[in-house]
Amino acid sequence: MSENDPSTAANPYYDGVPSYMTDVYDWAYVNPAKARLLDRNIVVKILLFFNDQRLMRAYLNEVKEGMKVWQAAHVYGDLVKLVAQKVGASGQYHLTDVTPIQIEQATKKLNGMEWAKIIRCDAATFSGEKGVDYDLICSFFLLHEVPEEKKHEIVNNILDKLLKGSKAVFVDYYNPKKWQPIRYILAIVNHFLEPFAKTMWENEISHYAQNKDQFTWEKKTFFADVYQCVIVQHKD
C-alpha cells in the first residue's frame, strides 16, 4: 500500500503520509483502526519486553518544570501525557508527527493542557515554533522506523535546533549482545516488520550527525544493549 494507492487516495488518514510509512507501517501507525487498538500501555510494555518504564524514565528524568520541549514523534501509551504534565503550565511542550491518526491520538491525550501544542510535521523538516528556543528535544524510538536518509535528516534537524546549554535525548534500539536471546527475536521482527531498524545495530546515532564533533555524546544502554539512551549537548 502506498500514498498513491487508489484505495487510500480519498482517505484523510493517508493524506500526505510518506510512502515509506504507508508501505511499511500502515499496520502500526497509519491505519486508524489499528493505531487506536495499539495505542495502549500494555502494548508498549510487551513490545519493549517490559523495559518501558526505565526507558521512559531515561527521557522523563531530563524533563524539568518550565522547560520548552520538542518531542519529534507521538508515542503510544501515556508517555506524551507524562512529559507534558512534568513540563507544566510554566513551560511549553511541542509534539510533532507526520500521520493524521497520531495527531488525533495525541490531541486526545493532551486535551486541556494549553501549554501543549500538537503540530503535524515531518521531524526532518520541522522548523520550530517562532520565538521558541527548546531546552530539550527528544526522539523516542523514532530513528529505527525511518529510512537511512531520513535518519540523517532527523538527527541533523534536531541538532540544528540544539542551543548551547540545551539537550537532545535519543532513546532507541541499539546492538544487543550476542548472548541476549532477544537479539534473535528482534532479528526476525526486523526482517519482516521493521526493515529500517537493522542499521541501529550497525551505526552509532552520532554516525548520522553531519557535525558530530561539535557535540558530546553520552550513551547509556539497557537490557544487555538492546536499547540505548544518548544525551547530546554542545561541547563547551
pLDDT of residue 3: 44
What one-letter code names the amino acid at 62? E
pLDDT of residue 236: 82
* Cross-sheet strand order for the sheet of 227-234: 116-120, 92-97, 68-71, 136-140, 167-173, 227-234, 215-222
Q: Which residues of the chain have pLDDT under 50?
A: 1-4, 6
pLDDT of residue 10: 77
Contact 95, 142 (CB under 8 A): no
Q: Which domains does the chain have, with CATH numbers?
A: 49-234 (3.40.50.150)
pLDDT of residue 6: 43
Distance CA 66, CA 224 (A): 34
The pTM of the full predicted model, rounded to 2 decimals, is 0.95
pLDDT digits (tens, 9 = 90+) for 20-48: 999 999 999 999 999 999 999 999 999 99
Distance CA 236, CA 231 (A): 15
**How distant, in Å, are the alpha carbons of 27, 29, 36, 92, 211 from that of 158?**
27, 22, 28, 17, 12
